[in-house]
Amino acid sequence: MSLHSPEHVPGNGITVHRCDDDGSSWDAFVAAHEGCTNYHRYGWRRVIERSFGHGAHYLVARDGDGRVSGILPLIRMNSMLFGNFLVSVPFVNYGGLVSLDGASASLLLAEARRLLRETGADHVELRHRSPVEGGLATKQHKVTMILDLCADEALQWKTLDAKVRNQVRKAEKCGLTVIEGHLELLDGFYDVFCRNMRDLGTPVYGKDFFRNVMETFPDATRIISVQLNGTTIASGMATWFRDTLEVPWASSVRDYREMCPNNLLYWEAIRFAIRMGASRFDFGRSTPDEGTYRFKKQWGAKPEQLYWQYVLKDGATLPELNPANPKYRAAIRIWQRLPVAVTRMLGPSIVRSIP
């Protein structure tokens, strides 16, 4: 059903609809448009709905011939603790509005503004790799770190900083081994992930979230784990789309830091990406000059600016829902002292409201 009656739609015959079908035309647009990312794929809607129970507003613009001319995936998040807002797309690095023309973009933004009023949300957050026009308030506090890959791993090894190569060799000399797999490695991955998130003071996703990702995209996900004597001490989940492979969730156990398991994990992920034919390795978003940024930079990754843009209520200020916000620091310190078993139990109900 159209969300705009014909008399209210500007020229070109463009209309905006809720996409509530099987998503085939949506995914065809995503596959064809270079501005779309992994997280624009329609399957992420199902992942988020199943994992967190949030309502989705997947908006699609169509031209007069019924062809898709733009998309905007929106997820509504609403809690007493963190507020009421719409995000494109929460829990992942990218999302936002993608369109073939300005008219489609304008109509999609107009519908986002209408949803803002209708839902009583505080703001709409759009996680863009390239900014869109429309006078939107914009944050440029994050970059994504991209490594261009060589055609073979021997050449890639030569491009690495000597320190990084030494750390990978050290991990191997310590007897660390690497295995690759799918759902059969999920338990080990999740054990390490829970421990690491507790140490960082961050509530942990439920295991079903990762299971849903892997079941929804079975041919585009893989777990890579580093083990010591059969015990997983570092692990990451890789996912890929087009020419880019990324590891959006990776963790290691701090007790084994001197053995450099994290370095071995990322080297094996890079090797895997090259074998898969990827030409880009996405290390994910970072704040410039912070620890994770420096770690990624030492591999040769280059920063690319991200643009988080906002549709705001009149007179509203930009949201500050992040760990650097002083009002969350006490909660982080408390969380870091909790037993891992407690954080595994409590974390999923909290993190579902943190985008």
The model's confidence at residue 80, banded by pLDDT at 50, 70 and 90, is: confident
The 10s digit of each residue's pLDDT in 304-351 is 999 999 999 877 778 776 655 566 666 667 767 778 787 778 777 888
Q: pLDDT > 90: what percent of the chain?
A: 79
| Confidence at residue 6, expressed as pLDDT on a 0 to 100 scale | 33
| Confidence at residue 240, expressed as pLDDT on a 0 to 100 scale | 98
Give the fold, CATH level 3, of 143-304.
Answer: Aminopeptidase (3.40.630)
The 10s digit of each residue's pLDDT in 43-74 is 999 999 999 999 999 999 999 999 999 999 99
Does the pLDDT at position 8 exceed 60? no
CB 18 within 8 A of CB 118: no
DSSP string, 203-239: PPPPHHHHHHHHHHSTTSEEEEEEEETTEEEEEEEEE
Q: Is 172 helix (H, G, I), strand (E, B) or coil?
A: helix
Strands 244-252 and 280-286 turn out to be: parallel
Q: Residue 47 and residue 209: Cα distance in Å, rounded?
A: 7
Once rounded to an integer, what is the mean pLDDT over residues 145-158?
97
DSSP string, 318-338: PP--STTSHHHHHHHHHHHTS
| Confidence at residue 9, expressed as pLDDT on a 0 to 100 scale | 42
| Confidence at residue 24, expressed as pLDDT on a 0 to 100 scale | 96
Count of alpha carbons within 13 Å of 77, Cβ hemisphere only? 23
Q: What's the mean per-residue pLDDT of the chain?
A: 91
Once rounded to an integer, what is the mean pLDDT over residues 264-270?
98
Buried b (16+ CB within 10 A) or exposed e, 153-182: beebeeebeeebeebbeebeeeebebbeee
| Confidence at residue 335, expressed as pLDDT on a 0 to 100 scale | 63
Once rounded to an integer, what is the mean pLDDT over residues 254-271?
97
Q: What is the DSSP letter of 110?
A: H
Class at the top of the CATH hierarchy for domain 6-142+307-317: alpha beta
| Confidence at residue 1, expressed as pLDDT on a 0 to 100 scale | 31
Q: pLDDT > 70: what percent of the chain?
A: 93
Does the pLDDT at position 11 exceed 70? no
| Confidence at residue 101, expressed as pLDDT on a 0 to 100 scale | 94
Does the pLDDT at position 256 exceed 60? yes
Once rounded to an integer, what is the mean pLDDT over residues 168-187?
98
Does the pLDDT at position 15 exceed 50? yes
The model's confidence at residue 231, banded by pLDDT at 50, 70 and 90, is: very high
The model's confidence at residue 354, banded by pLDDT at 50, 70 and 90, is: confident
Q: Is 67 helix (H, G, I), strand (E, B) or coil?
A: coil
Once rounded to an integer, what is the mean pLDDT over residues 206-217?
98
- Of 194-198, 209-213, 296-300, 307-311, the one with minimum mean pLDDT is 194-198
Once rounded to an integer, what is the mean pLDDT over residues 158-168?
97
Domain positions in the chain are 6-142+307-317, 143-304
